[in-house]
């Protein structure tokens, strides 16, 4: 069994980023990447290697993983030493000589599979005057490259303010998710009784918080499997309940659809959503990457495909004309169109793979 590396900071830095000192940030990185942090080893065998880290700089976890795979090398930024990977234990009194230099400037581009994008992980000198700029960079670095138009364009700035506040007051990502869940349930209830404007306002709060919890987890390095499951299961389960509640609420407006139209619309909304998710899951299983990142066309369609946020845009526009009935029918129709698009793309991928082609994401 491989012995975990140990992380040893060099120097100290009182400047806080996302409410954390450099030492606390490094400790969280070590825990997330199954490494030890100096002072937390609790005995055991000597480490196979040490990552010496300058407290003067701050960087995202991708750089730590990058250097963990490079024993005998020294990562520099400009003329300054940032991370060194040395054999065995080290005292942390400074960087040793004789290491092979690796310039951060030459290795800035990474592919983040979880965020489905190429990225340039932050690595910067941490000083009081640079905190807000670095926080902004790490926050936007935590955004998915392929997502819907609202998440990508409308509320990043709102969510940045809330993420900063949550970090300053020590609010955890799971607490943000829990508050968001309350607004999600409230939106469902309001839709059920035809209170569409209030429901959309409650839903908007939930959707913004749904962005905040993930960004907060990544920026403060507090991501966990439990938290991720909690958040993703809420995201996965709630949309059909919103649409069915919206259908029921039409009665309060005197715009209730006929029983036949209600049944058909409900079936299309629920089954269309479920089948679309199944198609996406099978694509991942068969190809090893998400359907939304196969070609640029697929990434562009993700901006407007029939997920929760684009559907809410449809409903919002319908409400501007006082026609929530047309809105929900339009959502059902868009669900079918989105499903057909993904189904065709999945069939095309299967045919190419059957013909011996190895598929890959356009972002690779």
Does the pLDDT value for residue 340 go beyond 60? yes
82-100 per-position pLDDT tens digit = 999 998 877 778 899 999 9
pLDDT at 182: 98
Between 259-287 and 324-354, two packed helices, what is the crossing angle to 10 degrees?
30
252 has pLDDT over 90: yes
For residues 193-217, average pLDDT: 96
**How far is it, in rounded angstroms, from Cα 290 to Cα 282?**
9
- Residue 250 pLDDT exceeds 80: yes
Q: Which residue has the tokens 């039409």?
A: 250
Cα separation, 138 vs 132, whole angstroms: 10
The region, left, alpha or beta by phi > 0 then psi within -120 to 50, assigned to residue 121 is beta
344: burial class by Cβ within 10 Å (0-12, 13-18, 19+)?
exposed
Model pLDDT, residue 4: 82
What domains does the chain contain, in order, with CATH numbers? 6-119 (3.90.550), 142-354 (1.20.120.1760)
Are residues 358 and 286 in contact, defined by beta-carbon separation less than 8 angstroms?
no
What are the CA-CA distances from residue 87 to residues 7, 53, 299 (Å)? 12, 14, 43
On the CB side of 114, CA atoms within 13 Å amount to: 9
The pLDDT assigned to 117 comes to 61
What pLDDT does residue 111 have?
A: 66
Per-residue pLDDT, 141: 83
Q: How confident is the model at residue 204 (pLDDT cuts 50, 70, 90)?
A: very high
Tell me what the mean pLDDT of segment 293-320 comes to: 96
Residue with more model confidence, 40 or 307 = 307
Confidence of residue 224 (pLDDT cuts 50, 70, 90): confident
* φ, ψ at 325 (rounded to 5°): -70, -45
């Amino acid at each position: 069994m491989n012995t975990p590396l140990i992380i040893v900071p060099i120097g100290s830095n009182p400047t806080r980023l996302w409410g954390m000192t450099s030492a606390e940030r490094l400790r969280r990185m070590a825990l997330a990447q199954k490494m030890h942090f100096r002072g937390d080893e609790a005995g055991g065998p000597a480490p196979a290697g040490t990552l010496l880290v300058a407290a003067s700089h701050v960087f995202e976890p991708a750089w730590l993983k990058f250097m963990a795979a490079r024993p005998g090398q020294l990562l520099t930024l400009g003329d300054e030493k940032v991370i060194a990977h040395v054999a065995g234990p080290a005292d942390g009194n400074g960087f040793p000589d004789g290491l092979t230099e690796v310039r951060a400037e030459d290795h800035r581009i990474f592919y983040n599979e979880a965020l489905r994008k190429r990225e340039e992980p932050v690595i910067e000198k941490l000083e009081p005057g640079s905190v807000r700029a670095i926080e902004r960079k790490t926050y936007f670095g935590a955004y998915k490259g392929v997502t819907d138009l609202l998440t990508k364009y409308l509320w990043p700035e709102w969510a940045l303010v809330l993420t900063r506040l949550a970090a300053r007051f020590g609010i955890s990502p799971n607490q943000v998710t829990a508050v968001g869940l309350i607004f999600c349930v409230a939106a469902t209830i309001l839709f059920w009784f035809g209170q569409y404007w209030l429901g959309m306002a409650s839903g908007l709060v939930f959707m913004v918080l749904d962005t905040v919890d993930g960004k907060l987890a990544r920026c403060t390095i507090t991501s966990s499997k439990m938290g991720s499951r909690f958040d993703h299961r809420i995201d996965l389960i709630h949309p059909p309940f919103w649409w069915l509640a919206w259908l029921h609420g039409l009665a309060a407006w005197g715009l209730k659809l006929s029983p036949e139209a209600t049944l058909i619309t409900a079936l299309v909304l629920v089954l269309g959503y479920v089948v679309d998710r199944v198609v996406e899951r099978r694509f991942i299983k068969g190809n090893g990457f998400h359907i939304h990142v196969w070609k640029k066309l697929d990434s562009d369609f993700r901006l407007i495909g029939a997920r929760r946020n684009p559907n809410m845009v449809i409903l919002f526009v319908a409400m501007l004309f006082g026609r929530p009935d047309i809105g929900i029918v339009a959502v059902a129709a868009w669900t079918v169109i989105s499903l057909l698009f993904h189904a065709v793309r999945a069939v095309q991928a299967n045919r190419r793979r059957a013909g011996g082609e190895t598929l890959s994401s356009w972002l690779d």
